[in-house]
Amino acid sequence: MLFVKKKDFKLSIARYVSLVLVFVLSAGVYILLKCTGAPKSTEISTTQASEESAESVSASEPTVKDGTYSATALGYEGDITVEIVVQNGEVIDVYFTSYDDDEEYKTFSDGLIEAIKADPLGEIDTVSGATFSTRGVLKAYHDALAQAGIEKH
């Protein structure tokens, strides 16, 4: 005859109860994140309207200013300052005015500057192995572009 011990029965109930609790808590967290994470439709339309009006203003009057612009951003262990030269509304030169980051990563950053010179408004990504340094170079470069009134798309 097969007998079920009381001990085993209580253990099985405890497993089912804990499983149900985990499921209920997971569902609750999912619903909470789902409800708070999505913007309301009115916020989306307002944002789109403001972006469209900003594009029409920038399209009607040129805001790119010729000159030399400099910006600084943090690299891996120090500041990186990038300077750009804008002439006739285009970037004609990009270089470092100071590089206080780890010298070991400067080679990667120099390569990134060369890629920027080849295509000043192109899509350029950070370099693997020197992510923080090259991210600093790109941030400084984008900040200098913004000072000149150049928008990267």
Mean predicted confidence (pLDDT) in 62-91: 90
Cα Rg of the chain, angstroms? 28
- Cα(18)–Cα(10) distance, integer angstroms: 12
Return the closest-CA partner of residue 89 out of 122, 69, 65.
65
pLDDT digits (tens, 9 = 90+) for 12-70: 777 778 878 888 888 888 787 777 754 444 344 444 444 544 444 444 445 888 999 99
Q: Are the CB atoms for 144 and 115 separated by under 8 Å? A: no
- For the entire predicted model, the pTM comes to 0.58
Task: Return the ∠ at Cα 28 (arms to 22 and 30), rounded to 5°.
Answer: 100
